Amino acid sequence: MRILLYGDSNTWGYDARTGCRFERRYPAVLRERMPDDQIIEEGLNGRTLCFDDPFDPDRNGTKNVQMVIKSHVPIDVFVVMLGTNDAKRIYHTNVMSLYKGMRTLLRKVKDPVLYQVVGKKPQILIVRPPRMNPAYRSNEMTVYSFGQEGYDMLENAGQALAKIAADMHADYFDPDVTAGTYDGVHLDPETHAILAERLAAKLEEYR
């Protein structure tokens, strides 16, 4: 299978302690678990579902998703794990914004024009983003960027994402992972490994 992972800094493998990139981020571990499949990494730090970042316009996931798909077709499974950055205070959002944002993005993903040459649309899997770790309250930057509102929004993200998956005829998966304790937002090596293991089991269902 050709599996495209479309996500944010947790897909990119951001190490909150160093600002560098984990070698054993979940896509890399997933590649080890699924050696006969092609795992395509498309993670970008700060990527949102559909909001324009005032400091970096390339972070709008909806605006760039069709270009990404065109670069990698054919694709068997399109995996999207986004929504964390949408919970930032700067966007003034709520849980319904996750539903609407994912709907906006999936409309682009499902555009049949993208698949005219290959003649095959991918299966779509929405993965619930990690819950924030309550330890975020000890990290000044996370408190400033997300606050309690962002924490609550991500805590309650599952219902909205499951609903949009059903409404858009996509699949939904909750890997039940929580971010690491350093900044409360980003995965640590242990949780990258857990996510990869659980996602690999889910992806086996597409064979």
pLDDT, position 108 = 98
| pLDDT, mean of residues 19-32 | 97
pLDDT, position 22 = 98
pLDDT, position 118 = 85
The DSSP code sequence of the chain is -EEEEEESHHHHTB-TTTSSB-TT-HHHHHHHH-TTSEEEEEE-TT-BSSPPBTTBGGGBHHHHHHHHHHHH-S-SEEEEE--TGGGSGGG---HHHHHHHHHHHHHHHT-GGGGTTT--PPEEEEEPPPBPPGGGGG-HHHHHHTHHHHHHHHHTHHHHHHHHHHHTT-EEE----B--TTTSSS--HHHHHHHHHHHHHHHGGG-
| pLDDT, mean of residues 27-53 | 97
pLDDT, position 205 = 97
Which tens digits make up the pLDDT trace of 151-163?
999 999 999 999 9
Structural domains of the chain sorted by starting position, each given as residue range(s) with its CATH number in brackets: 2-206 (3.40.50.1110)
* pLDDT more than 90, % of the chain: 96
pLDDT, position 43 = 98
**Euclidean distance between CA atoms 40 and 24, whole angstroms:** 15
Distances 112 to 107, 116, 120, 164, 203 between C-alpha atoms, Å: 10, 7, 9, 19, 23
Contact 95, 153 (CB under 8 A): yes
| pLDDT, mean of residues 61-65 | 97
Contact 77, 123 (CB under 8 A): yes
Arithmetic mean of pLDDT over the chain: 96
| pLDDT, mean of residues 106-127 | 95
> Model-level pTM?
0.96
| pLDDT, mean of residues 107-111 | 98
Q: Is the pLDDT of residue 30 over 90?
A: yes
pLDDT, position 142 = 94
For tokens 């609550």, name the residue: 152
Cβ-Cβ contacts under 8 Å for 197 (sequence gap 6 or more): 29, 33
Which tens digits make up the pLDDT trace of 170-205?
999 999 999 999 999 999 999 999 999 999 999 999
Closest CA to 83 of 102, 68, 64: 102
The sign of the torsion formed by the CA atoms of 108, 111, 116, 122 equals positive
**Euclidean distance between CA atoms 100 and 116, whole angstroms:** 27
pLDDT, position 33 = 96
